Structure 1
Amino acid sequence: MRKIYFICILFICNGLLAQKKEKLYPVTIYEKVWQERNNDTRLKLIKTIWLEDSTFEDPSASIKGIAAFNNVINEFYKKNPDAVLTSGAKTVKDNYVTWDWKIQDSKNKLIMAGREFARLNGKGQVSKIISFWDKDAVLSEADILKNLEADNFKVVAQYFECLFKTRDFNTIAALIDDDAIYNQAEGLPYGGTYKGFNEWTKMFAKSAEFFDLQIEKEPVYFSDASKKEVIIYFTINCKSKKSGKTLSMPISEHFDLKNGKITAIRPFYFDTKQFAEFLKSRK
């Protein structure tokens, strides 16, 4: 008897989940409609869930019908061509669904946020949408740190690419702060503290007198956005210009960043003494 009872409960739960999924179908399509950039593709999606008497209202528009709704989205993307839309969990009650949403640009800057209320007709279509804007919305601390981490990664990755691969020093100059500090281990022939891009270039030129370098293993990135720090771990393969010998050496570089620019770099060699002796050795 107990087994039959649990089977019945399972069927009921599965049935409720199926009903909820079916009820959310037009909302899922509605969100895809907003994410679709192609006008013709979007119009086809709209027609699957929108009727000529379906309405949409927000602080900027109050419209009815398929073409009018499509036009609202077209106008939105004209003003916000790089917008990225995301939404939160859905709350369902009878034929009503509500959820939070936010819109960010390609740099993760918050454009706007709000809450959507949808009334469904029970036949897989939307009867009415009311969209409320939260003009005071701000990103959560977690989102801010996540975005900052992504931005810092991009800066460091671009610096690495320009220094070791493209040798694009003009771009590097734009990535570092005017008073940025580069600390090289004192035991190296080019060791010391270098401040500002002009001093950095002197250090790069001096180091190039001792070895040719290739990247043996691409960097792995670590970050602590709260400390505005990025750490990369990679392996170099060097050929000494004095001895002709080669050496493979893991390195980690610690980057400090502020306002999207590098303010300090400190490299750590796996064996600084061995690396220094390698650079100074002769045939």
Structure 2
Amino acid sequence: MSPSQVLRRFYEAELAYLTAGGPGRASFAGIASLLDPQVVMHQAAGLPYGGDWVGPDGVERFFAAMNDTWEYLEVREPRFLEDGDTLVVLCDLVTRSRARGVDMHAPMVQVIQVRDGLIVDFRPFYWDTAAVAAACAHHDET
């Protein structure tokens, strides 16, 4: 499979996982099958789910943290740019925070590395991490 085919399969598995109930309710196996054992999901430190999430178990914990943070999260109009094993995905992120009920709609870029048919690295770049963090903060944190 090409890197873009791997990522499209990942997105399909992610949608199936979330549609089936997500963290604690659905099987993560479909997603895990597309991840390298040493995969790393990098998130900006200033976000409520910031840091590096390592391995398929780490990515599964990341999904749980995202589920705790966002009431819904949708990636719209993804465009794939592929260069060897590197994918750049240009998209719009549409979300609603659980803490405040704040709706957000902003551009996002993801840089993803694929090796031997498995995803090895995710690096999302948010348009405004401060706005994302503020939307997710509990009222007593601001």
**Deviation per CA, 1:224-280, whole angstroms, max 9, x where unpaired?**
01xx10111111211111111211122111111111111110110011111111111
Residue 238 in structure 1 maps to residue 95 in structure 2: yes
Q: Structure 1 residue aligned with 2:13, among 125, 141, 162? A: 162
Q: CA deviation at 1:220?
A: 0.5
Name stretches of at least 5 consecutive residues in structure 1 with no aligned partner.
Answer: 1-149
Secondary structure of 1:244's partner? coil
Residue 202 in structure 1 maps to residue 52 in structure 2: no
RMSD: 1.7
Instruction: Name whichever structure is richer in helix by fraction.
Output: 1
Paired position in structure 1 for 2:2:
151
For 2:3 and 2:75, the matched residues in 1 are separated by 24
Paired position in structure 1 for 2:40:
181
Secondary structure of 2:48's partner? coil
Secondary structure of 1:217's partner? strand
For 1:216 and 1:194, the matched residues in 2 are separated by 20
For 2:83 and 2:118, the matched residues in 1 are separated by 16
- TM (normalized to structure 1)? 0.44
Secondary structure of 2:2's partner? helix
Secondary structure of 2:63's partner? helix
Secondary structure of 1:189's partner? coil
Tell me: higher relative CO, structure 1 or 2? Use CA pairs within 8 A at least 6 residues apart. 2
Q: CA deviation at 1:161?
A: 2.3
Kept in 1: contact 2:99–2:135 (CA 8 A):
no
Paired position in structure 2 for 1:221:
80
For 1:213 and 1:235, the matched residues in 2 are separated by 14
Secondary structure of 1:277's partner? helix
Task: Choose 175-184 or 234-243, whichever is displaced more.
Answer: 234-243
Secondary structure of 2:139's partner? coil
For 1:249 and 1:161, the matched residues in 2 are separated by 22
Letter of the 1:252 partner, please give it. Answer: V
Kept in 2: contact 1:178–1:196 (CA 8 A):
yes
Instruction: Name whichever structure is richer in strand by fraction.
Output: 2
For 1:159 and 1:262, the matched residues in 2 are separated by 9
Kept in 2: contact 1:222–1:231 (CA 8 A):
yes
Q: Structure 1 residue aligned with 2:109, among 240, 246, 252? A: 252
Secondary structure of 1:209's partner? helix
| CA spacing shift, 1:206–1:216, aligned 2, 3 Å | closer
% identical aligned pairs: 25
- TM (normalized to structure 2)? 0.85
Count of aligned pairs: 131
Name stretches of at least 5 consecutive residues in structure 2 with no aligned partner.
Answer: 18-26
Letter of the 1:263 partner, please give it. Answer: V
Paired position in structure 2 for 1:59:
none
Paired position in structure 1 for 2:119:
262
Letter of the 1:152 partner, please give it. Answer: P
For 1:275 and 1:214, the matched residues in 2 are separated by 12
Paired position in structure 2 for 1:271:
128
